[in-house]
Structures are given as structure tokens and as C-alpha cells.
Chain A
Amino acid sequence: MNHLLRSHAPISDDGWELLDEEARQRLTPALAARKLVDFSGPHGWDHSATNLGRTTPLASAPGEGVSGLQRRVLPLVEVRADFELSRADLRDADRGAEDADLSALDEVAHRIAVAENVAVFHGWHDATTGIGEASPHESVQLGESADAYPRQVAGAVERLLCSGITGPYGLALGREQYRRVVETAEHGGYPLLDHLGKILEGPIVWAPGVEGAVVVSLRGGDFLFECGQDLSIGYDSHDGEVVRLYLEESFSFRVATPEAGGRAESLVARGGTAHRALISNQTSVLPLAATPQRSAS
């Protein structure tokens, strides 16, 4: 048995299969960061830190004529969201009910996906440095209308190219920005989504939790998501009425290439050396980017 203690839960094998599949279906569309950044792992629950390859000199030494360095690492963070399910509903599902109430699981799945997106794109104080946070570039106003998005995204891409950052590029759009893009057709009826796709030559992803938009180069090596325990449902406790479960993962995220410093609400473009262009939010901004700064522990 592992730390999830699933065998202690009053849930049948079919019930666990139902819960896991429901969670996958809810999580997959919303996990935007995993569609754009480099992913490593899973390395297991007992994986606690990411090697940074850096050291800190130690002031003291254990003997004369020697010196000491201490390795620096980036600790993984654990993200957990608790929820309860009715045992009666789970029994109904075992009987073949197709409409068991799993809304509590759906809600935490969305919440934890948003948390992951925020940690990656905007940063999590004391835990991760987000892509936008790391970017030094000023934001560019997106505006209320999506009509200007092609020019702004193209500008971001062009600025990345000027920095030597090649594509293809991906675009993470916050909920409101994504809706605007999907609902908009340009002059002549050409879908904006397709137009942006041609500019980027890469994916456009729905990214709940992102404020504004983020453009990233997909050539790799700049934004590193290291997974310890991948998203899992674990068991906490139960009584006669409900079973208390949780959705959990552990990970670290770092911007691998120095330079950078952006803001949370921005559109960021990342590249091989982690340059990026930023577009920010509702009223918007489209900052351009640069190279991120290495985040230490």
C-alpha cells in the first residue's frame, strides 16, 4: 500500500475506476501548462527536490585547509484539494447508475488544475517563479476586443524572433481571452483561432487561471515542470455517509534561463533561451519578453 491509502477506502475497484476516469476527464482540458512546458517525471512521492547544479559557499569548514559548498536544490511543492463523496452515490454507481453525483470531484479537479496553471504561468509565492513573473518585458495591452490579437501575438512572436528565439510557439489564453478568440471571426469570416494558429505554428490552449495570455516558444529547455507524484486521488477517512478523499500532486517548476521577470498578468513568449513576450490581461497588455531568471531554491 502506498501513501494514498486507497485500499482503506470503502470504494470498489469499479468505483475507483469511475473516480479516476472522471478526474482525468476534468483535469486534462484544464492542465494548460502541461501542454506547453517541458515535463519531467513522474519521479515518485519520495522525490523531494530538483537539482539546480548550484552551490552556496559555507562560511565555516570542518578543518583547516578545506572549504565547503552546500548544494542548492529546489524543493518540490505538494498541492492537495480535499473533497467528499456520498457513499450512497458510490453504491448507486456500483449498481450501474450513470448519474452518480461526482460534482465535488469535478470541482476540486478544476481547482487543482487552475492552481497548477497559476503556479507555472504567474508564480506561487515562496514556491515557484512563474513565467510571467520571470519576464522582464513590459506588458502589451490586449484590449477588450479580440480583433487586435493577431497583431499583438504576431508582434510578440516577431520580438522573440529578434531575440533569436525560434518557434513553433504556443499560446495560453485565460478563460475570457479564449472565449473572445473562439467566438471571433475576422473580416470575411475567417476564424480568429485559425489565424492565430498560423502565426504561432503551435497550439492555442484554454488556460483557466491565467490572467491574459502567455506566448511561449515550444523549442524546449526553458520552462521545466518536474513532477514527483503525478495527480492522484487518495483516501483520507470515511463514516457511514461520506468518504473523504483528496486530489494531490507534487512538483517543482523553474524558469531555466536567466533574464526575465515579468508580471503575472501577461502574455509571455518563451524560447530556447527563454525569451518571451507577454500579453496581459483583460484590458491588456502584451509585453515582450526576454530571458527568464533562474530560480533558485
Chain B
Amino acid sequence: MGFDQYHEPPDELPARTRTFARLCASLTEEAEAIGWYQQRLAVETDPEAAAVMNDAVGEEYKHFSMDLEFLLRRTPPWREVAEGILFQAGDIVEHGEEAEAEAFEGGAADDGGGGGDGSLGIGSLRGASR
């Protein structure tokens, strides 16, 4: 079993950070899978096989989106930036610059250097010990 998602000794990391790292690793894996399916579908000539893979990549979209939503909920500054970029019509780079400026330049002190909505980011504690 590998623990490549950790760049620091796992024993020194709080449980919350380990969970975060696991979901980051999962997000990466889902994105890779989506890329792989795109490539396979681009070269597949058998329509039945393509249909199976099209169905499978839909699962990856779902998994990626769930991973991303989890991470955004746990990371208010990331969420704030994402809200300025995702599902917005227009220039992506422009939205990115604006969202970053809004989150970090205009509002860094809003949450004490943490950005986002300024909350403590506690959320659900299901699975937490005692």
C-alpha cells in the first residue's frame, strides 16, 4: 500500500489534513481517468465499446465533481476563487484574475489571512473520534 499523497510524515499530520490529502489524490485520479477515457474514445471505432466507455466516463465526471465539492467546502478561500470562475460565461482568465483579487487582495484580512467566508471551516464531524 502506498502513501504517496502525503508529502509530510503522516504521523505528524492532523486527521483533517490527511483526509484532505486523500480527497486531493482522489480528485487527481478522477481527472486522469477522464483524460484517459477521452483519449480512448477518440480512437475507438467500435460503437458498442464507445458506448460502454461513454457510460463509464460519466461516472468519472460524477466522482470528480463530488471530490471537488468536498474540497471546496473544506477550503473557503479555494471555494471563493472557484465561485468566481466556475459556471461563468465569458473570459476564463479574466474571471480567474478577478476572483483571485477578490479573494486574496481585497479580502485577505476579512478572514484573518484565510480568505473565503472567514469561517473556521469545521463543517460536519461525522467520523471524528469522540
Chain A residues near B (Cβ < 8 Å): 1-2, 4-7, 11, 13-17, 19-20, 23-24, 27-29, 31, 34-36, 39, 41-42, 44-45, 203-206, 218, 227, 229-234
Do A39 and B126 contact each other (CB < 8 Å), given the known contacts A24-B120, A27-B120, A230-B121? yes
Quick check: B120 and A6 within 8 Å, CB to CB? no
How far is B129's CA from A204's CA once the two chains are assembled, in angstroms?
8
Q: Mark the stretch among B37-45, B92-100, B111-119 that contacts chain A.
A: B111-119
Quick check: B123 and A16 within 8 Å, CB to CB? no
Do A29 and B110 contact each other (CB < 8 Å), given the known contacts A34-B125, A42-B117, A230-B120? no
Q: Which residue of B lies closest to A229 (CB)?
A: B119
Quick check: B122 and A2 within 8 Å, CB to CB? no
Quick check: B117 and A45 within 8 Å, CB to CB? yes
| Residue B84 CB within 8 A of the other chain | no
How far is B124's CA from A171's CA once the two chains are assembled, in angstroms?
17
Contact of A42 among B106, B109, B123, B126 (CB under 8 A): B123
Query: Could you say which residues of chain A place their CB within 8 Å of the CB of B118?
Result: 2, 4, 6, 232-234
Query: Could you say which residues of chain A place their CB within 8 Å of the CB of B127?
Result: 35
Query: Could you say which residues of chain A place their CB within 8 Å of the CB of B112?
Result: 6, 11, 13, 15-17, 19-20, 233
Contact of A28 among B109, B111, B114, B125 (CB under 8 A): B125
How many chain B residues sit at the interface, stated as a range, is: 20 to 34
Chain B residues near A (Cβ < 8 Å): 73, 106-114, 117-130
* Number of CB contacts from chain A to chain B under 8 A: 101
Do A13 and B110 contact each other (CB < 8 Å), given the known contacts A2-B118, A42-B73, A233-B120? no
By Cβ-Cβ distance, the 6 closest A-B pairs, closest first, are: A16-B112, A13-B113, A7-B109, A39-B124, A230-B119, A34-B125
Query: Could you say which residues of chain A place their CB within 8 Å of the CB of B73?
Result: 42
How far is B73's CA from A81's CA once the two chains are assembled, in angstroms?
24
Q: Which residue of A lies closest to B121 (CB)?
A: A230
Contact of A230 among B107, B109, B122 (CB under 8 A): B122
- Smallest CB separation, B123 vs chain A (Å): 6
Quick check: A204 and B123 within 8 Å, CB to CB? no
Do A204 and B130 contact each other (CB < 8 Å), given the known contacts A232-B117, A232-B120? yes
Q: List 9 A-B contacts (CB under 8 A).
A: A7-B108, A13-B112, A16-B109, A16-B111, A17-B112, A31-B122, A34-B126, A39-B124, A231-B120
How far is B123's CA from A29's CA once the two chains are assembled, in angstroms?
13
- Smallest CB separation, B95 vs chain A (Å): 20
Quick check: A6 and B119 within 8 Å, CB to CB? no
How far is B123's CA from A234's CA once the two chains are assembled, in angstroms?
17
With most chain A CB atoms within 10 A of its CB, the pick from B112, B124, B127 is B112
Contact of B124 among A34, A229, A234 (CB under 8 A): A34
Quick check: A24 and B111 within 8 Å, CB to CB? no
Quick check: A13 and B119 within 8 Å, CB to CB? no
How far is B119's CA from A1's CA once the two chains are assembled, in angstroms?
13
Query: Could you say which residues of chain B place their CB within 8 Å of the CB of A27?
Result: 120, 122
Q: Which residue of B lies closest to A109 (CB)?
A: B120
- Smallest CB separation, B60 vs chain A (Å): 25
Contact of A6 among B111, B124, B128, B129 (CB under 8 A): B111
- Smallest CB separation, A5 vs chain B (Å): 8
Contact of B120 among A7, A14, A20, A218 (CB under 8 A): A20
